[in-house]
Structure 1
Amino acid sequence: MTPLPHRVLQALDRFNAAHPWDHNAHYHRWILRQLPRRFGRALDVGSGTGDLARLLATRADEVRGIDSDPAITSRARVLTSEATPVSFVVADALTELPAGPHDVITCVATIHHLPFAEALTAFRRHLAPGGTLVVVGLFRPQTATDHLLGAAAIPLNAATGWLKNKGRGAPRPVSMTARTRPAGMTFADIAGEAREVLPGARLRRRLFWRYTLSWRRP
């Protein structure tokens, strides 16, 4: 199976612009289901305007969000109540991770901007024993299964965008994140490298051009 024609992708982009919704936030509730009901310290890597970090704060004693974009980080601070146990800092995800250990580390739509195995190694190093790492990432379609999932996501994407914006006078705002570049690694490459760094990691292709990875440190 070949990739989607360029004109189909252009039509999809136009529809998404008119009916925007957040593909990453779609997985936030799934992320929470992978985590304990209560935990101590959490770290959200690539935190953007902080939606996931604030959601983690409903279960955590302390949440730190890091992002490399100063403007987006400033916006996250503005959107966060002082009473919420969340802080945001501008930091490099490889060399400036806040001192751990952390009971939970999350990373959504960010790791494909980083050297993959090196990033997972850094996350593992900052995760507490028994802690949980959850990644939602992008991959480059290669196999027939990849392309079938992509094709299946098109009508679902359109339906979801229409439903989420139905009856609204203006499009619902989408959380700000740094500009996303296309993913370079295939799912097979991601799974192979992840299981070398994180033995026992669970990976799965998902709809809306995403995959998920979860791992609990022994």
Structure 2
Amino acid sequence: MLWRIFIFTVCSMFLTASADVKPKTKAGIDTLFHLRRMFYVEDLDDDLCVEWDDIYQVASRADINNDGIYEFNEMLADPDMNEASRDDFNVFEVNGDGKVDMDDVHLKFYDILSASGNDVDIKEYLRFMSTREPDRGELMDIKSFVNAEKNFLVSDQNDNGLLSPYEYKAEFRFADADHDGFLNSNETDAFRPTRHVGQFCDDVATTGCSLNDVEALFDGADTDNSGKLSVEEYIIYFGKLMTAT
């Protein structure tokens, strides 16, 4: 327990510096996808939160020569970090001394530390970490990005990272509570791909949205014409719909 007390004592020393960091509400979509990958790399125990233990293990693993300091080339030597950029390294290098040591890691974790606890979920992670990365790609609302990802993960029943037409139609059948083949204004809220979008077809107030209507959304999202939706295709398409409403 003493080392935990020490860690958070060190973190509290940098309260003034960290208070200046204001989390973003929007960021470049390519930046968000990159940071999303980094989040899952750092979430070592797969509990959908990044905790101090996760950060400490990632930093320790990157220190190949065990000198208490790691450099950019050591970061790239980690198989999970081999796509990291200099910007990612600079996220850790926060006290301006040109190297990354545990003090830097303390600061980095404190920057994204939740006000309500000692772990960080993906929305908090993206909002804070995007302040240290340049915006790459079209700007997207971070809340919409996260909501779209959550909807995809639930809809992807076999967890293979691809949404099939069968899985997509299963969401329609689930939302169609009266089984009439249409989604009325109440049922559209239960259709997961458009849960945060609102009304997405012209007939919702009359006959309701048909399966053809929702299939048109699937086809619009399937930019590579593979017949399935990747998480990237899903987030880009449905996340933008959420942002537009």
TM-score using structure 2 length = 0.25
TM-score using structure 1 length = 0.27
Higher Rg: 2
**Structure with more of its chain in strand, by fraction:** 1
